[in-house]
A = this chain, B = another copy of it.
Amino acid sequence: MASSITILDVLVEDIRVPTSDSLLGSDPFHRKPDYSAVVITLKTDTGLEGNSVVFNLGAGNNWIAFGVIDLASLLKGRTLAEFVHSPAKLHQLMMEHHQMRWLADGVFRMATGGLVNALWDLWAKSENKPLWELLADLSPEAIVSCIDWRYLRDALTPDEALDILRNARPGVTQRKAQMRESGPAAYSTSGWLGLDDSQICDHIKSLQQQGFRHFKSKVGSNLKQDIDRLKLLRQLIGDDSHLMIDANQIWGVDEAIEWMQQIKVYRPYWIEEPTARDDVLGYIKIREKMKHWNIGVAAGEQVPSPVIFKQLLKSGALTHCQIDATRLAGVNDVMAVILIAAKYGIPVCPHGGGIGLCNMIQHYSLWDQIAVSAQYDNRFVEYLDFLQDDVFKNPVAVHKGHYVTPEQPGWGLEMKPEFIKQFRFPTSPVWSSRSGPIGALFLA
């Protein structure tokens, strides 16, 4: 079927929700995010569409949109068959382009990822499978051929990756069935900095009633406030639930260690993003100290490249690998990270939230737990209960603290037209009266 599908056009939308009005998603560093997405649609001659999103915090969403439009000219007129034949080739045509690679990571890798992920969506739909199942059904050889190995072999060789995937094969059918009963375990981010104690109390109680046991709180802007809040949260959730904490890179290396010294008594399960996204040696130093306090170290939502992930995983600096769905150059990059994590025995606990991230990461966790690590233990997938029902035709569902394994073909990222219309930047009524000094520009 794939052979007969040709990409005719690529639609790109800049969609922004004024979440800063309610401080949902706020943290010490990203004080007033407006959750945003570049929404990508590959239009084909068959009517089948390839969908993806790239999540952003508001200003700057237009930078990614601009990049996606520029790169999209590379895809027009190509067939899905070309991608299916060699997913690495189109991935590298963009990511390793001999002029474009000067742009390095960040905007360039994220824009590339948006298009790569839309191609995977189209492929999965052409096979009428959810993305996770397409991945779980691919042969080990096919998976390994998707990856750009140039810089990764010192941590994981293609042969080692094949071994990992082959070892997982025998249980795939059984684990697929189990996951269709109850999907990956979820945890929730509830300690938003901008909310008061009673709001957080109510929120946690409601989540506990839905079956959640593990919770995460933001820390790092004020030590006294952190101590008060962590004390409250530990009382609310009890001793058997995990309490994760997240500093969103607010600290320097030594500062992170000193701050953690003051709050370790509340037994955080992990400290997430204690320092700069690319400070490998800093993470190694922090992890050495946390080890003695029995506290994990997590990161990933801003880890800018597979090479940085490689170092964090191989060195043991991370105890939990928080792959993100739209930070890297799509499925091909994330496959590599999940395989390296499997080799070093580091559980994959993806970063969710934003717009569309939970929808996407559930597929990665399903693939990891079914066909790569083949384990469920210590694997928690972030879950946030907003920007779902009003946004997506197939919103993420949770049941008893677990994701409900999605069955619709592809990523399941199709958006409701009313949502797009309401939050299109900067022309929709929600924005036309507000736009501030940055981000006012938009691709013409």
Chain B residues, CB < 8 A from A277? 104
Chain B residues, CB < 8 A from A108? 60, 63, 106-107
Chain B residues, CB < 8 A from A103? 56, 60, 63-64, 106-107, 110
Please state if A278 and B304 are interface contacts (CB–CB under 8 Å). yes
Q: In the complex the two chains form, what is the Cα distance from A100 to B62 in whole Å?
A: 11
Interface stretch (choices A27-35, A184-192, A205-213, A372-380): A27-35
Chain B residues, CB < 8 A from A34? 99
Chain B residues, CB < 8 A from A105? 104-106, 278, 304
Of B60, B62, B99, B151, the contact of A58 (CB 8 Å cutoff): B99
- What bracket does the count of chain A residues touching chain B fall in? 35 or more
Q: Nearest CB to that of A308 among chain B residues?
A: B278
Interface stretch (choices A139-147, A235-243, A413-421, A433-441): A433-441
Interface stretch (choices A195-203, A280-288, A382-390, A404-412): A280-288
Chain B residues, CB < 8 A from A280? 280-281, 311
Q: Nearest CB to that of A275 among chain B residues?
A: B151
**Cβ distance A154 to chain B, nearest Cβ, rounded Å:** 4
Q: In the complex the two chains form, what is the Cα distance from A109 to B71 in whole Å?
A: 20
Of B67, B150, B252, B302, the contact of A104 (CB 8 Å cutoff): B302
Q: In the complex the two chains form, what is the Cα distance from A419 to B74 in whole Å?
A: 30
Interface residues of A in 108-157 (CB under 8 A from B): 108-110, 149-154
Interface residues of A in 306-353 (CB under 8 A from B): 307-308, 310-311, 314-315
**Cβ distance A291 to chain B, nearest Cβ, rounded Å:** 18
Q: In the complex the two chains form, what is the Cα distance from A279 to B312 in whole Å?
A: 10
Q: Any chain B CB within 8 A of the CB of A66?
A: yes
Q: Any chain B CB within 8 A of the CB of A57?
A: yes
One digit per residue, 1 when the CB lies within 8 angstroms of any chain B CB and 0 when it does not, for chain A 32-70 equals 111000000000000000000000111110111011011
Q: Any chain B CB within 8 A of the CB of A393?
A: no
Q: In the complex the two chains form, what is the Cα distance from A149 to B31 in whole Å?
A: 20
Of B70, B106, B315, the contact of A109 (CB 8 Å cutoff): B106
**Cβ distance A337 to chain B, nearest Cβ, rounded Å:** 14
Q: Any chain B CB within 8 A of the CB of A97?
A: yes
One digit per residue, 1 when the CB lies within 8 angstroms of any chain B CB and 0 when it does not, for chain A 203-230 equals 0000000000000000000000000000
Interface residues of A in 254-284 (CB under 8 A from B): 254-255, 275-282
Q: Nearest CB to that of A34 among chain B residues?
A: B99
Please state if B73 and A441 are interface contacts (CB–CB under 8 Å). yes
Q: In the complex the two chains form, what is the Cα distance from A33 to B101 in whole Å?
A: 11
Of B69, B70, B98, the contact of A32 (CB 8 Å cutoff): B98
Q: Any chain B CB within 8 A of the CB of A365?
A: no
Please state if B59 and A99 are interface contacts (CB–CB under 8 Å). yes
Closest 10 CB pairs of A and B: A444-B444, A106-B106, A104-B106, A107-B107, A58-B99, A59-B99, A154-B253, A57-B99, A57-B102, A151-B276
22 A-B residue pairs with Cβ-Cβ distance under 8 Å, sorted by A, are A31-B98, A33-B102, A60-B108, A66-B441, A69-B441, A70-B438, A73-B437, A73-B441, A102-B302, A103-B110, A104-B106, A104-B304, A105-B105, A105-B106, A106-B304, A107-B107, A107-B108, A154-B252, A276-B305, A278-B278, A278-B307, A279-B310
